[in-house]
A and B are shown apart, each in its own frame.
Chain A
Amino acid sequence: MKKKMIGQMLAGMDEKYIQEAIEAEKTGASGKRPAMKMRKLAAAAAVGVIVLGTGVSVGAATSDVFRDWIRVNFLGHEITKVDLPSESKVEEEKANLPLDGDAHLSLAENMEIYGEKESFVCQYHRKGDDEVIDQVYSVQGNGLKKLEMKRFQGKYDGVDFSFQYAIINQEIFGFNTRGDIDEVFHYVDGDHVYANLVSIKGETYVKGCIARLDLKTGEVTKLTEDNTIGNMIMSPGGKVILINYRADRYWTAFDIASGQEKKIDEIDWCAHTDEVIFKGDYQVLTWGDTYMKNDTELVGTKVVDLRTGKRIASYKECGDYEPEWIYEQKKGEIRIRNVDGSVDFSIATDKDYKGYLHPLSSRGDYVLLGNLEEQGMPYYLCNLRKKTYRKIDAITGFREEVEMYLAAKEGKMLLTDGKEAYLVGMD
């Protein structure tokens, strides 16, 4: 192709992509972290909600199409309609919300789902730029259950901080944070939880630490010095907190039980928190070595033991979407492999599938493949461990947006068209 053609192709680039690149520079949305640490806008990042493409036809904008689509695509699976009361009714309800009722809540507009393993379904309203969470639910077999919301108040070096929280099993979800606190880590250790306390002046983090909070007594105990300012992730079992000191270009592993912080040189300082994947509490999978193949520079992955700081395995490949998983699309099939070779299977796809099939959402063992830009093309819901999959037809003839959320632990999908919501068994 001629240079001139390529120049013309680039010249016609849509404003929104140019703006996105400019915005990324300003906000760090492309993954950039400022010298210190990015301030989180909400209590935690919402997880896994995807908006399946809206239909293009001018068909009936009723939920009939949505209901029919669910029935056809999930025939033989448990399907439960979830009705939520209106805001005024929320106060009146006690435990499990009724399965039937007329007062529907638009999930698409003011519902978000959070959580590491558990699913905290949150109802919120906006106050300026802030999201204020009003009610939190858990996913139950027959619907959503309202969770008890409590409040913690403490001081970081004499300065107040507070947050509200809800607990499911051993996971806490902290929200509506105020004052000198950045994040409540997910693991509940008896009456104790852990948090990242911070003090910010303007845009600059002046100090920060990891602290243990006693939910019963309100006691706040600092576990690290006040120079612990970085991006953090907690291991699944709450044993270790990994800290990325981007300004100083290194990672450390903080062992909660011993209080020891160990520098981990094997983790690339550039790697972001979503590129360091915990494999249990003491091992992580992350970016590996780069190497040349057919004049192309490629990158691999490696497993690092956090107790020794040593690399214990290296792999030649690294997934495009998640480091651990490789998705290879060929005509009529997509091959799914784990970089360590422990999982390798293919699923049949539509032969004339347009565009790239890629993960839209993944939670636990489940991944939903699709392409939101390709109208009318199906989705594929895979269980990576069981090596099974299900094809889900695209919704057509429907004008509303459909949101889907994978509640992995419960093995259910929450589907909503903004008017009605359904819980559907995935296996």
Chain B
Amino acid sequence: MEDQLIIKKFNERSEEAIRELSDKYGTLCKAIANRITGNEQDAEECLNDALLAVWNNVPPESPDPLSTYVCRITRNLSLKKYHANTAKKRDTRYDLVLEELEECLAGDSSVEDEILAKELQQSMNDFLPGLKKTDRIIFVKRYWFLESVSEIADSIGRNNNYVTVHLHRSRKKLEDYLKRKGLIL
């Protein structure tokens, strides 16, 4: 079903909207939740919470695109769950992915944390357009969707080496970019 029709059903308060949303984006969202929480049950819970959040927010909101909207809600809810459980889970894919970036951005920050966080968010969005489209997609799949190297390789029809090499290059570019911006030393 087209996204606009799903939104229409939400606006009509038809419960079919949730079913259609789940059919269309449920697998994608659950995969994101699973990668972050590392737990099937938690992932299922996050997905259900995300669907409920969409039900509560639409209307008045009318998200376009719907896909990123529901993915972002799922990701945020999953991170919340992850942080709540963080003491007992230190080896989730979310951890591993952050460590991968942490390694390349190892320099000390040059500004206060709070300011830095905002600057970094903007910098990321300024940095991404400078990557080749394929590299950008690989980067986003890895660090936002938390997909494994082989999942990415499979989805873009390349081998693991290709993805690994290109991720490495993108991380290096990000490091250089943030250094030039003075955000890391």
Residues of A that sit less than 8 Å from B by CB: 1-3, 5-15, 17-22, 24-25, 28-33, 246, 268, 270, 272, 287, 290, 296-299, 320-321, 354-356, 358, 371-373
State whether the Cβ of B132 lies closer than 8 Å to any Cβ in chain A: yes
Contact A17–B98 (Cβ < 8 Å): no
Contact B125–A13 (Cβ < 8 Å): yes
Chain A proximity of B154: nearest CB distance (Å): 9
State whether the Cβ of B116 lies closer than 8 Å to any Cβ in chain A: yes
Contact B109–A1 (Cβ < 8 Å): yes
Contact A290–B138 (Cβ < 8 Å): no
Shortest Cβ distance from B135 into A: residue: A320
Contact A10–B144 (Cβ < 8 Å): yes
List, in ascending order, chain B residues with CB within 8 A of A298's CB: 165
Contact A31–B156 (Cβ < 8 Å): yes
Contact B79–A7 (Cβ < 8 Å): yes
State whether the Cβ of B60 lies closer than 8 Å to any Cβ in chain A: no
Contact A1–B106 (Cβ < 8 Å): yes
State whether the Cβ of B16 lies closer than 8 Å to any Cβ in chain A: no
Chain A proximity of B153: nearest CB distance (Å): 8
Residues of B that sit less than 8 Å from A by CB: 28, 65, 67-68, 71-72, 75-76, 79, 95, 98-99, 101-102, 105-109, 113, 116-117, 120-126, 128-130, 132-134, 136-138, 140-141, 143-145, 155-159, 161-162, 164-165, 168-169, 173, 177, 180, 184
Contact B67–A22 (Cβ < 8 Å): yes
Chain A proximity of B70: nearest CB distance (Å): 10
- The A-B contact count (CB < 8 A) is 138
Q: Bound state CA distance, A292 and B134, in angstroms?
A: 23
Contact B136–A9 (Cβ < 8 Å): no
Q: Could you show 5 A-B contacts with beta carbons less than 8 Å apart?
A: A1-B108, A6-B120, A12-B125, A30-B155, A321-B132
Contact A17–B136 (Cβ < 8 Å): yes
Given A1-B105, A1-B107, A270-B157, decide whether A22 and B144 contact each other with a Cβ distance below 8 A.
no
Chain A proximity of B159: nearest CB distance (Å): 5
Chain B proximity of A340: nearest CB distance (Å): 20
Contact A296–B133 (Cβ < 8 Å): no
Query: Which of A12, A31, A297 is within 8 Å of B161, CB to CB?
Result: A297
Given A9-B123, A356-B173, decide whether A270 and B137 contact each other with a Cβ distance below 8 A.
no
Query: Which of A3, A5, A30 is within 8 Å of B138, CB to CB?
Result: A30
Chain B proximity of A268: nearest CB distance (Å): 7
List, in ascending order, chain A residues with CB within 8 A of B67's CB: 19, 22
Chain B proximity of A323: nearest CB distance (Å): 12
Query: Which of B138, B156, B162 is within 8 Å of A299, CB to CB?
Result: B162
Contact B137–A20 (Cβ < 8 Å): yes
Contact A1–B184 (Cβ < 8 Å): yes
Q: Bound state CA distance, A20 and B141, in angstroms?
A: 10
Chain A proximity of B82: nearest CB distance (Å): 10
Shortest Cβ distance from B143 into A: residue: A10
Contact A354–B180 (Cβ < 8 Å): yes
Q: Bound state CA distance, A219 and B156, in angstroms?
A: 39
Q: Bound state CA distance, A287 and B158, in angstroms?
A: 12
Chain B residues touching A, majority SS: helix
Q: Bound state CA distance, A22 and B65, in angstroms?
A: 11
Contact B99–A8 (Cβ < 8 Å): no
Chain B proximity of A131: nearest CB distance (Å): 21
List, in ascending order, chain B residues with CB within 8 A of A321's CB: 132
- Listed from nearest, the 8 A-B pairs whose CB atoms lie closest are A12-B121, A9-B120, A30-B137, A21-B140, A1-B105, A32-B157, A18-B68, A30-B156
Query: Which of A11, A22, A25, A371 is within 8 Å of B130, CB to CB?
Result: A371
Chain B proximity of A333: nearest CB distance (Å): 16
List, in ascending order, chain B residues with CB within 8 A of A6's CB: 98, 101-102, 105, 120
Q: Bound state CA distance, A6 and B96, in angstroms?
A: 12
List, in ascending order, chain A residues with CB within 8 A of B107's CB: 1
Chain B proximity of A329: nearest CB distance (Å): 9
Contact B121–A9 (Cβ < 8 Å): yes
Contact B136–A20 (Cβ < 8 Å): yes
List, in ascending order, chain A residues with CB within 8 A of B124's CB: 9-10, 12-13
Contact A14–B128 (Cβ < 8 Å): yes
Shortest Cβ distance from B122 into A: residue: A12
Query: Which of B101, B165, B184 is within 8 Å of A297, CB to CB?
Result: B165
Query: Which of A7, A21, A287 is within 8 Å of B141, CB to CB?
Result: A21
Q: Bound state CA distance, A20 and B135, in angstroms?
A: 12
4 new A-B contacts, CB < 8 A, other than A1-B109, A21-B137, A21-B145, are A2-B113, A5-B109, A5-B117, A31-B158
Given A22-B67, A373-B129, decide whether A270 and B102 contact each other with a Cβ distance below 8 A.
no
Contact B98–A3 (Cβ < 8 Å): yes
Contact B133–A17 (Cβ < 8 Å): no
Q: Bound state CA distance, A299 and B164, in angstroms?
A: 10
Contact A22–B133 (Cβ < 8 Å): no
List, in ascending order, chain A residues with CB within 8 A of B122's CB: 12
Shortest Cβ distance from A34 into B: residue: B157
Most buried by A among B79, B108, B122, B125: B125
Contact B130–A356 (Cβ < 8 Å): yes
List, in ascending order, chain B residues with CB within 8 A of A14's CB: 125, 128
List, in ascending order, chain A residues with CB within 8 A of B79's CB: 7, 11
Shortest Cβ distance from A22 into B: residue: B67
Q: Bound state CA distance, A11 and B134, in angstroms?
A: 21
Q: Bound state CA distance, A296 and B122, in angstroms?
A: 29
Shortest Cβ distance from A268 into B: residue: B159
